[in-house]
Amino acid sequence: MKDVTRIPAAEPTGHIGIVHLGLGAFHRAHQAVYLERYRLRSGDGTWGVSSANLRGGVALVDALRDVGYHYHVAEYADRDHVTLREIGVVEETLFSGRDAGGQWGRDLEVLLMRMISPDTRLVTLTVTEKGYFLNPASGELLADDPMIAADIAEPQAPRTAPGILVEALAQRREAGLPPFTVLSCDNMPDNGKRTRNAVIQLAERRDAALGEWIATEVAFPCSMVDRIVPAMTETDFARLAELGVDDPNAVVGEAFSQWVVEDDFPLGRPAWEAEGVEMVADVAPFETMKLRMLNGSHSLLAYLGALDHIETVFDAVSRDDLVALLHRYMLDEAAPTLAMPAGTDLEGYAEQLLYRFANDSLRHRLQQIAMDGSQKLPQRWLHGALARLEAGAEVPCTALGVAAWIRYTLGVDLHGNAYPVDDPMASRFKLLHEAHGEDVEALVPAFLELDAVFPPALAGRAEFAEGVVASYRRLVSEGLDGVLATLSRN
């Protein structure tokens, strides 16, 4: 018998205090849930959200508008225990991407108007790691990227998240208004600092004084965000229908949720601590822990599992050998690189992660996690691996992960099944595979030379390159079973 808790939405107030960029599944199942719970408990209706998509997703924007913006979040502790929340705190949805006719910025004017309203005190973002247009390894703005070049050429008609932030801040400055606070909720290291870099470097190309003003006046707190929210599948919608929820805009996620936020909000913020938001002075230890242990493990499962045609995280952790690999990776290669506050139980955290990965109600597809590896792996594996190697330790699990990622970018798994490689650098990978084919001794170094992904200090370590070459050979010749058996013996 399912144990279902149903929680209706609070009354809408029409009072927008937050603008969000990136109306994806995570925003709807994480930030919006905290804000809905805050509104329900406190009765403070001044933090309604206007949420915009800048890249695709116009159908969702319009679908939510057509139903008065309410949608459902199903929070699964497991397949028999679910909390069904109705969310009403998102009170406006906007689209400023390119539409089917090739036109950009349908609702850009309204979006900017919202962002320069004195009521708007906070702008939050979930635009994925690539949505900041930063070099993943160095964190520098990709000024040559065509999207950023377009925003430099036409700053009043921005298309990117950094461009929209710069234009809105420029208008607030001209109007003599204090700046809103910018809170990134994406899985990037030092996500607040990186967002600040992107915005300042773009603003400086427009007006040095504007760049200076943003550098001194705008707060960009960092945050660690955590809740597993897979992309919806037909199975998910069917399960919700069984619970009496017919909602095409619904999202599912695990019951677990965490949000650790640097407390730097000059214009104020919701008093959301009672909803479990942890306000801290320094987020970095928590961010690094989560990125290296949780997301690092996710990426290991994604590339090794996808190459063996495994579909979901749940399916992957049903294999003892993959669970053993994660355990070893987390405790031997990730945890030793972390500087956590005294009393932090990293072994307990690792066990909790394995428990969360085994949540049988989530169909978290490995291919979704495998997306954008070039943007994800520096913070998930590579910075940690370099620290371990510099400490004189070995990183066999990470070397195997990197080998699996390189093989994954070929676009065909070990059983001959093809799949699309979704990554901003996919065309570059294709050229490398075409150039080197099965010559692993040449292919691996060619990938390690990608300094947008691999820190040169890591790429230059012979023992790391040799470990990746050996793992690649074993993966191709022995398959997943064989390579994991060999690793467990060493």
Residue position matching structure tokens 């990622």: 405
CB of 466 to ligand CS2, least distance (A): 28
CB of 437 to ligand CS2, least distance (A): 29
Contact 389, 464 (CB under 8 A): yes
Q: Which stretch binds ligand CS2 (CB under 6 A): 48-56, 155-163, 171-179, 220-228?
A: 220-228
Query: CA–CA distance from 459 to each of 122, 259, 394, 426, 455 (Å)?
Result: 40, 34, 15, 20, 6
- Of all residues in this chain, which one has the CB nearest to ligand NAI in the complex? 24
Half-sphere exposure of 336 (CA within 13 A, CB side): 16
Contacted by 295, from ligand CS2, ligand NAI, none: CB < 5 to 8 Å by type: ligand CS2
Our finding on whether 228 is near ligand CS2 (CB under 6 A) is yes
Query: CA–CA distance from 23 to each of 122, 223, 366, 441 (Å)?
Result: 16, 18, 22, 43
What DSSP letter does each residue of 177-193 carry, written as one string?
Answer: PPPPEEEE-SS-TTHHH
Centre a 10 Å sphere on the Cβ of residue 277 and count the other Cβ atoms it contains.
22
- Of all residues in this chain, which one has the CB nearest to ligand CS2 in the complex? 298
27, 114, 292, 298: which one contacts ligand CS2 (CB under 6 A)?
298
Helix (H) or strand (E) holding 307, with range, is helix 296-307
> Alpha helices, DSSP H only, in 80-160?
108-115, 146-153
Q: Which stretch binds ligand CS2 (CB under 6 A): 225-233, 260-268, 404-412, 430-438?
A: 225-233
Report how many residues bind ligand CS2 under the rule CB under 6 A: 10
96, 124, 128, 197: which one contacts ligand NAI (CB under 6 A)?
128
Cβ-defined contacts of 313-318 (< 8 Å, 24+): 313/357, 313/362, 313/364, 313/366, 313/369, 314/357, 314/358, 314/359, 314/360, 314/362, 314/363, 314/364, 316/357, 316/366, 317/354, 317/357, 317/358, 318/358
Decide the pairing of beta strands 90-95 and 48-53: parallel
Contact 277, 34 (CB under 8 A): yes
Q: Which stretch binds ligand NAI (CB under 6 A): 74-82, 124-132, 332-340, 393-401?
A: 124-132
Decide the pairing of beta strands 81-87 and 71-78: antiparallel
Our finding on whether 197 is near ligand NAI (CB under 6 A) is no
- Residues 55-94, one symbol each (x = binds ligand NAI by CB under 6 A, - = not), give xxx-------------------------------------
Q: Which of residues 324-383 bind ligand CS2 (CB under 6 A)?
A: 368-369, 376
- The residue type found at 247 is D
Q: Which is nearer to ligand NAI, 17 or 97 (CB)?
A: 97
Contact 325, 489 (CB under 8 A): no
Q: Which of residues 167-196 bind ligand CS2 (CB under 6 A)?
A: 187
Contact 31, 55 (CB under 8 A): no
200, 210, 222, 225: which one contacts ligand NAI (CB under 6 A)?
225
CB of 145 to ligand CS2, least distance (A): 21
- Residues 129-158, one symbol each (x = binds ligand CS2 by CB under 6 A, - = not), give ------------------------------
Structure tokens at 269: 């913020």
CB of 394 to ligand NAI, least distance (A): 30
Q: Which is nearer to ligand NAI, 99 or 466 (CB)?
A: 99
Structure tokens at 6: 């149903």
Contacted by 128, from ligand NAI, ligand CS2, none: CB < 5 to 8 Å by type: ligand NAI
Q: Which is nearer to ligand CS2, 239 or 298 (CB)?
A: 298
Q: Which is nearer to ligand NAI, 188 or 400 (CB)?
A: 188
74, 228, 291, 425: which one contacts ligand NAI (CB under 6 A)?
228
Contacted by 184, from ligand CS2, ligand NAI, none: CB < 5 to 8 Å by type: none
91, 151, 186, 226: which one contacts ligand CS2 (CB under 6 A)?
226
CA dihedral 259, 115, 100, 69 (to 10 degrees): 60
31, 181, 197, 295: which one contacts ligand CS2 (CB under 6 A)?
295
CB of 260 to ligand NAI, least distance (A): 12
Q: Which of residues 145-174 bind ligand NAI (CB under 6 A)?
A: 161
Secondary structure, 3-state, 1-43: CCEEEEECCCCCCCCEEEEEECCCHHHHHCHHHHHHHHHHHHC
Centre a 10 Å sphere on the Cβ of residue 347 and count the other Cβ atoms it contains.
11
Helix (H) or strand (E) holding 171, with range, is helix 161-174
CA dihedral 182, 186, 187, 188 (to 10 degrees): -40
- Residues 20-59, one symbol each (x = binds ligand NAI by CB under 6 A, - = not), give --xxxxxx-------------------------xxxxx--
CB of 296 to ligand CS2, least distance (A): 9
Our finding on whether 336 is near ligand NAI (CB under 6 A) is no
Our finding on whether 277 is near ligand CS2 (CB under 6 A) is no
CB of 225 to ligand CS2, least distance (A): 6
Centre a 10 Å sphere on the Cβ of residue 87 and count the other Cβ atoms it contains.
25
Using a 10 angstrom Cβ sphere, with 0-12 exposed, 13-18 middle and 19 or more buried, the burial of residue 46 is middle
Residues making contact with ligand NAI (CB under 6 A): 22-27, 53-57, 126-131, 161, 186-187, 225, 227-229
Residues making contact with ligand CS2 (CB under 6 A): 187, 226-228, 294-295, 298, 368-369, 376
